[in-house]
Amino acid sequence: MLELLGVLVGFSPIIFFMCLFSWLRRSARKQEPRQEGSATEFPVASGMRFLFGLVVVLLAAFSVLVLAVTVARGEGLYAVLIPLVVLLAILLARPRPVVLDHDGVRQYRWLRADREIAWNDISWMKRGRNTGVTYVRSKKGGWPISFSPLLVGQPRFERDVRARSGGSED
Protein backbone atom coordinates (compact mmCIF):
# COMPACT_ATOMS: atom_id res chain seq x y z
CA MET A 1 0.00 0.00 0.00
CA LEU A 2 2.85 2.39 0.80
CA GLU A 3 4.43 1.63 -2.57
CA LEU A 4 1.23 2.64 -4.35
CA LEU A 5 1.06 5.85 -2.32
CA GLY A 6 4.72 6.55 -3.21
CA VAL A 7 4.00 6.06 -6.90
CA LEU A 8 0.97 8.37 -6.73
CA VAL A 9 2.96 11.07 -4.94
CA GLY A 10 5.76 10.67 -7.48
CA PHE A 11 3.39 11.12 -10.40
CA SER A 12 1.32 13.90 -8.79
CA PRO A 13 3.23 16.79 -10.47
CA ILE A 14 2.75 15.13 -13.85
CA ILE A 15 -0.95 14.59 -13.20
CA PHE A 16 -1.29 18.18 -11.96
CA PHE A 17 0.28 19.63 -15.11
CA MET A 18 -1.76 17.35 -17.38
CA CYS A 19 -4.95 18.56 -15.70
CA LEU A 20 -3.77 22.19 -15.80
CA PHE A 21 -3.01 22.12 -19.53
CA SER A 22 -6.25 20.30 -20.27
CA TRP A 23 -8.16 23.00 -18.38
CA LEU A 24 -6.22 25.76 -20.18
CA ARG A 25 -7.03 24.24 -23.59
CA ARG A 26 -10.73 23.97 -22.77
CA SER A 27 -10.89 27.54 -21.49
CA ALA A 28 -9.05 28.80 -24.60
CA ARG A 29 -11.69 27.21 -26.84
CA LYS A 30 -14.42 29.09 -24.98
CA GLN A 31 -12.80 32.54 -25.04
CA GLU A 32 -13.64 34.92 -27.87
CA PRO A 33 -11.08 36.51 -30.23
CA ARG A 34 -10.56 40.28 -30.50
CA GLN A 35 -12.38 42.07 -33.29
CA GLU A 36 -10.68 45.23 -34.61
CA GLY A 37 -12.48 46.56 -37.65
CA SER A 38 -12.45 43.85 -40.29
CA ALA A 39 -9.57 41.97 -38.63
CA THR A 40 -10.06 39.21 -36.08
CA GLU A 41 -7.10 38.51 -33.78
CA PHE A 42 -6.73 35.18 -31.97
CA PRO A 43 -4.30 35.87 -29.09
CA VAL A 44 -2.86 33.50 -26.48
CA ALA A 45 -5.51 32.60 -23.88
CA SER A 46 -5.45 34.66 -20.68
CA GLY A 47 -4.67 31.68 -18.43
CA MET A 48 -1.74 30.67 -20.61
CA ARG A 49 -0.43 34.26 -20.70
CA PHE A 50 -0.50 34.26 -16.90
CA LEU A 51 1.31 30.91 -16.74
CA PHE A 52 3.97 32.05 -19.25
CA GLY A 53 4.48 35.28 -17.32
CA LEU A 54 4.80 33.43 -14.01
CA VAL A 55 7.32 30.95 -15.41
CA VAL A 56 9.37 33.73 -17.05
CA VAL A 57 9.48 35.77 -13.83
CA LEU A 58 10.42 32.74 -11.73
CA LEU A 59 13.14 31.66 -14.17
CA ALA A 60 14.54 35.18 -14.34
CA ALA A 61 14.61 35.37 -10.51
CA PHE A 62 16.27 31.97 -10.33
CA SER A 63 18.86 33.10 -12.90
CA VAL A 64 19.64 36.19 -10.82
CA LEU A 65 19.97 34.02 -7.72
CA VAL A 66 22.35 31.61 -9.48
CA LEU A 67 24.35 34.56 -10.82
CA ALA A 68 24.64 36.09 -7.34
CA VAL A 69 25.79 32.81 -5.80
CA THR A 70 28.39 32.10 -8.51
CA VAL A 71 29.78 35.64 -8.32
CA ALA A 72 29.93 35.51 -4.50
CA ARG A 73 31.85 32.22 -4.63
CA GLY A 74 34.12 33.43 -7.41
CA GLU A 75 33.13 30.59 -9.74
CA GLY A 76 32.51 30.68 -13.49
CA LEU A 77 29.27 31.93 -15.01
CA TYR A 78 28.41 28.66 -16.73
CA ALA A 79 25.77 27.72 -14.14
CA VAL A 80 23.67 30.74 -15.12
CA LEU A 81 23.55 29.57 -18.74
CA ILE A 82 21.23 26.64 -17.95
CA PRO A 83 18.25 28.66 -16.65
CA LEU A 84 18.85 31.34 -19.30
CA VAL A 85 18.75 28.76 -22.10
CA VAL A 86 15.55 27.29 -20.65
CA LEU A 87 14.10 30.81 -20.47
CA LEU A 88 15.03 31.46 -24.11
CA ALA A 89 13.52 28.11 -25.17
CA ILE A 90 10.24 28.98 -23.43
CA LEU A 91 10.13 32.40 -25.08
CA LEU A 92 10.79 30.90 -28.52
CA ALA A 93 8.20 28.11 -28.06
CA ARG A 94 5.43 30.46 -26.95
CA PRO A 95 2.48 30.33 -29.39
CA ARG A 96 2.10 33.45 -31.52
CA PRO A 97 -1.22 35.21 -32.25
CA VAL A 98 -2.99 34.66 -35.57
CA VAL A 99 -4.97 37.36 -37.42
CA LEU A 100 -7.68 36.94 -40.05
CA ASP A 101 -8.38 40.02 -42.18
CA HIS A 102 -9.49 40.91 -45.70
CA ASP A 103 -6.05 39.92 -47.10
CA GLY A 104 -5.84 36.45 -45.56
CA VAL A 105 -4.29 34.69 -42.58
CA ARG A 106 -1.28 36.18 -40.79
CA GLN A 107 0.74 34.82 -37.88
CA TYR A 108 3.00 37.09 -35.88
CA ARG A 109 6.53 35.88 -35.30
CA TRP A 110 9.10 37.03 -32.79
CA LEU A 111 12.40 37.02 -34.69
CA ARG A 112 11.48 36.99 -38.37
CA ALA A 113 8.84 38.47 -40.67
CA ASP A 114 5.22 37.48 -40.11
CA ARG A 115 3.87 34.45 -41.99
CA GLU A 116 1.08 35.45 -44.38
CA ILE A 117 -1.20 33.43 -46.64
CA ALA A 118 -3.74 35.13 -48.91
CA TRP A 119 -7.23 33.65 -49.00
CA ASN A 120 -6.89 32.41 -52.59
CA ASP A 121 -3.48 30.84 -51.80
CA ILE A 122 -4.72 28.47 -49.09
CA SER A 123 -4.02 24.91 -50.18
CA TRP A 124 -5.45 23.07 -47.16
CA MET A 125 -6.25 23.29 -43.48
CA LYS A 126 -6.12 20.35 -41.10
CA ARG A 127 -5.73 19.59 -37.43
CA GLY A 128 -2.73 17.66 -36.11
CA ARG A 129 -3.80 14.23 -34.94
CA ASN A 130 -2.00 14.18 -31.59
CA THR A 131 -1.36 17.86 -30.90
CA GLY A 132 -4.65 19.60 -31.65
CA VAL A 133 -2.75 22.26 -33.63
CA THR A 134 -4.55 23.50 -36.75
CA TYR A 135 -2.24 23.94 -39.75
CA VAL A 136 -2.98 26.19 -42.74
CA ARG A 137 -0.74 25.55 -45.76
CA SER A 138 -0.13 27.81 -48.75
CA LYS A 139 -0.22 26.63 -52.36
CA LYS A 140 3.22 28.22 -52.71
CA GLY A 141 4.66 25.84 -50.09
CA GLY A 142 6.82 26.91 -47.19
CA TRP A 143 6.06 26.53 -43.52
CA PRO A 144 2.35 26.41 -42.64
CA ILE A 145 0.67 28.76 -40.22
CA SER A 146 0.09 26.87 -37.00
CA PHE A 147 -2.85 27.70 -34.76
CA SER A 148 -2.08 26.38 -31.27
CA PRO A 149 -4.89 25.04 -29.09
CA LEU A 150 -3.63 27.55 -26.47
CA LEU A 151 -4.89 30.44 -28.64
CA VAL A 152 -8.47 31.62 -28.09
CA GLY A 153 -11.36 30.53 -30.31
CA GLN A 154 -9.97 27.60 -32.31
CA PRO A 155 -13.43 26.44 -33.52
CA ARG A 156 -14.22 29.96 -34.80
CA PHE A 157 -10.80 30.18 -36.51
CA GLU A 158 -11.39 26.92 -38.37
CA ARG A 159 -14.95 27.93 -39.32
CA ASP A 160 -13.84 31.36 -40.62
CA VAL A 161 -10.91 29.95 -42.64
CA ARG A 162 -13.16 27.30 -44.22
CA ALA A 163 -15.78 29.94 -45.11
CA ARG A 164 -13.33 32.43 -46.62
CA SER A 165 -11.07 29.98 -48.45
CA GLY A 166 -13.79 27.97 -50.10
CA GLY A 167 -13.72 24.99 -47.71
CA SER A 168 -10.32 23.58 -48.64
CA GLU A 169 -9.57 20.95 -46.02
CA ASP A 170 -7.94 17.52 -46.09
pLDDT of the residue at 168: 53
pLDDT (tens digit, 0 to 9) for every residue of the chain, 170 residues total? 677 767 767 777 778 888 888 888 888 888 899 998 889 999 999 988 998 999 999 999 999 999 999 999 988 788 889 999 999 999 888 899 999 999 999 998 888 888 999 999 999 999 988 888 999 999 998 889 999 999 999 999 999 999 988 765 55
> Among 3.40.1350, 2.30.29, 2.20.25, 2.60.40, what is the CATH number of 31-44+96-170?
2.30.29
- Which letter does DSSP use for residue 132 in this model? -
pLDDT of the residue at 57: 95
Residues 6+ apart with CB under 8 A from 87: 56, 59, 60, 63
pLDDT of the residue at 167: 63
- Bridge partners (DSSP) of residue 156 are none
pLDDT of the residue at 107: 94
- Using CB atoms within 10 A of its CB, is residue 136 exposed (0-12), middle (13-18) or buried (19+)? buried
User: Which pTM does this prediction carry?
Assistant: 0.78
pLDDT of the residue at 29: 81
pLDDT of the residue at 8: 67
